Chains A and B, each alone.
Chain A
Amino acid sequence: MKKNWWKILGAVLVLYSTIAGFLIGVPRLAILHESIRNLYFHVPMWFAMIVLFSNSIFYSVKSLSTQSEEDDLKAVESVNAGVLFGILGLLTGMVWAKFAWGEFWSFDPKQNFSAISLLLYFAYLILRNAIDEEQKRAKISAIYNIFAFPMMIVLIFVLPRLKDSLHPGNGGNPGFNMYDLDSRMRMVFYPACLGWILIGYWVYTIRFRISSLVYKQQ
């Protein structure tokens, strides 16, 4: 129980942010209307993904120096869990975009680039599966990951800001901070991010434990 406190914290925060996300008041804004509440569900998916990918690159670098299979497994399972959250973020974003911007996919820079960065990580997973020899697989995929991570950061955080984008905070568009992301919304948004990051990390640890069990049994 003592070791599991963060799992319980994650569960409580996610539950709180969902209930409060529906019930606590939000600013009355045109176009967005009630859909502004999506902020509590769509954005945390991306935060969880970024944290999981960061965790993955940490273990990739570590596996290059330690050469341990465990670190390699941690890196890949972290990507697996991160990709799940990325896909969820993309899908929730598409639904929100349909009602806020009129199209599921309006070729907004951030939409395109986040899809491309997900493809980068699909390529990572496929690359791994293509190599049979363990040592080689660990090394090559770790190095690929070291290239993929900065690309993902640039694609999601840098390039969309240089162009006009429909996403808030990019181009000439005001961020949610300006759309009064007021204190009421902050009270839900930050716990939601932390909660989903914890849940994402939990999913990753479960995946890692399963795959290390499988590895030991071989």
Chain B
Amino acid sequence: MKKFAFTLMMLITSLNLFAQNNDIEMADALRSNGKIYIVVICVAIILIGLLIYLFTLDRRLKMLEKKNSNKN
């Protein structure tokens, strides 16, 4: 899984290696030394955490709804 994700990430990123005019400053250094991946991983972790939290909230709510409908 890890390998697959990494390959996918590399595939996606290799698309932008054909940079054109280099006189406009972009985060090229961050990209060339690979530090951008650290940022991406952190943001992805936060997002995954929040989404999982949303799913568990949803599940707890479903349990409550079930309990409530049994009562009535």
Residues of A within 8 A of B (CB): 4, 7, 11, 14-15, 18-20, 22-25, 28-30, 33-34, 184, 199, 202-203, 206, 209-210, 213, 216-217
Contacts and interface: CB of A to CB of B under 8 A. Distances in A.
Given A29-B24, A34-B27, A14 B15 contact: no
B55 A7 contact: yes
> A interface, by DSSP: helix, strand, loop or mixed?
helix
B19 A19 contact: no
> B interface, by DSSP: helix, strand, loop or mixed?
helix
A213 B65 contact: yes
A24 B24 CA distance: 17
Interface in B20-72: 20-22, 24-27, 36, 39-40, 43-44, 47-48, 51, 54-55, 57-58, 61, 64-65, 68, 72
A18 B12 contact: no
A199 B50 CA distance: 11
A210 B68 contact: no
Contacts of A19: 9, 12, 40, 43-44
Given A33-B25, A213-B68, A216-B68, A28 B40 contact: no
